[in-house]
Structure 1
């Protein structure tokens, strides 16, 4: 359903019993939407949780984006949604770019967030895109990528995304484990061209915002909540440097290495994923 949140309408789905422990899913992309995650985990996680998913402002089934947007806007939307739903506290789960937003949210609103799960997060946009390029370049003979120093910029991001686009139909080879190369993401065909266009516009705006280049790894030390990092063996997004910092700097952090899986553990090994999340959040 569409809910009025901070001057726009966000598409929100809720599954599970109202008295079950609340859990917010934060999608990645930027602009990926929640459709795929619900397809693989909606029924599974709603057995144990009051699962809430939201298409971020301007994304897919939410109202089209009007004007600029920042990561701070998205965090404020999540918090306003919690208040609108009359949820006192909830756990949060961020996938890919959504892990960056989950880190920001947990650090900014420690009293609202009970626990945090990160699935193959892209916390630092330079390090994340470095890792993506490292995975992609063996499939792109003759292509070179210039090193980037300093904070993330729009130009850096666009250049690197353009290189990844050259993978074409081989794109999933860097995102999935060898046993899951035929994985189909439902939103690729089930979501209308109009909704995909909304996501594209959101992607353009959020990567143009100053917030996209801001450093967030310093928030690790501020995480007061228990946090779980799930890293797929073949995931190309979360860098070794980020994993090391998570394991050293997060006061109450747990690390899980998912053998055989890639970037989409929630889709590649859905039963394992649901069990991991459930055990951690209910422990």
Structure 2
């Protein structure tokens, strides 16, 4: 269903008992939408939780939106959605880029975010760009060289990252999946029209034009005072070892879990274990 939030309408998919502990899912991409995650985990998690999936403004089944996008704007949307749903607080789960949003949200609204879960998050663009490029390099023609970057993250660095991964062509998904799940297909790829998928381009362009997208969020980890769970796929090419180390060192109530067989999509590649892990954490 569409719910009016601030100056837009967000598509919200709610599953499970209304009186069960609420869990908000924040999708990645940027601009991927919540359809894939809910296809793999929505009904599973809803057996014991009140699952709330939201398409960020302008994405997938939310109202088309051509306005500005920033991480702070998206977090304001989530908080307005919580109020619209009449929830005093909720746990949040962010995948990939959604992990950035989850970290910001947990720090900015500690009284309304009770627990936070990160799945293969992208907290520092420089670090995870280096990790991603090193994962992609073996699949490229011999002699290919990853662009070198120094200093803070920039739009040029991000564009070079996108182009570098694009050179993989049909092999792009190989770096995101574990060796035993290379045949995994993402349902959203065929569930929506090209027009709907194209909305992600505006979302990405606006986001990449905002300064907050390139900020390293590692300093925020020390401000997370909620119970926090970091789920890392053993073959994930995004979250860097440095980011994991900072989480383990800086988050007082942090728990680290390695799903050794999975890649970037642990919620799909190790679905049963993922459901148990997330459910137990939220209910604990």
TM-score w.r.t. the length of structure 2 is: 0.98
Q: Which runs of 5+ in 1 are unaligned?
A: none
Q: Which runs of 5+ in 2 are unaligned?
A: none
Show CA shifts across 1:125-148 (max 9, x none): 111111110100111122212221
Question: Are the equivalent residues in 2 in contact too, given 1:152–1:212 (CA < 8 A)?
Answer: no
- SS for the counterpart of 1:254 is strand
Task: Name the residue aligned to 2:225.
Answer: 224
Task: Name the residue aligned to 1:143.
Answer: 144
For 2:276 and 2:119, the matched residues in 1 are separated by 14
- SS for the counterpart of 2:180 is helix
Show CA shifts across 1:79-113 (max 9, x none): 00000000001000000110011000000000000
1:76 shift after superposition:
0.3
- SS for the counterpart of 1:179 is coil
1:66 shift after superposition:
2.1
For 2:96 and 2:194, the matched residues in 1 are separated by 23
1:2 shift after superposition:
1.1
Task: Name the residue aligned to 1:256.
Answer: 257
1:45 equivalenced with 2:45 (yes/no): yes
RMSD across aligned positions (CA): 0.9
Corresponding pairs, count = 283
Task: Name the residue aligned to 2:241.
Answer: 240
* CA distance 1:74–1:140, change in 2 (3 Å): same
- List structure 1 segments (4+ residues) > 4 angstroms apart after TM superposition: none
- SS for the counterpart of 2:48 is coil
For 1:80 and 1:7, the matched residues in 2 are separated by 11
Task: Name the residue aligned to 1:12.
Answer: 12
Show CA shifts across 1:192-251 (max 9, x none): 111101112101111121111122111111001000001111000000000000000001
* Pairing 1:180-219 to 2, within 5 Å after superposition: 180-219=181-220
1:152 shift after superposition:
1.7
For 2:174 and 2:71, the matched residues in 1 are separated by 29
For 1:18 and 1:138, the matched residues in 2 are separated by 48
For 1:130 and 1:96, the matched residues in 2 are separated by 15
TM-score w.r.t. the length of structure 1 is: 0.98
Task: Name the residue aligned to 2:166.
Answer: 165
Task: Name the residue aligned to 1:120.
Answer: 120
For 1:38 and 1:126, the matched residues in 2 are separated by 29
Question: Are the equivalent residues in 1 in contact too, given 2:13–2:53 (CA < 8 A)?
Answer: yes
Show CA shifts across 1:161-193 (max 9, x none): 111011111112111110000000000111111
Question: Are the equivalent residues in 1 in contact too, given 2:66–2:202 (CA < 8 A)?
Answer: no
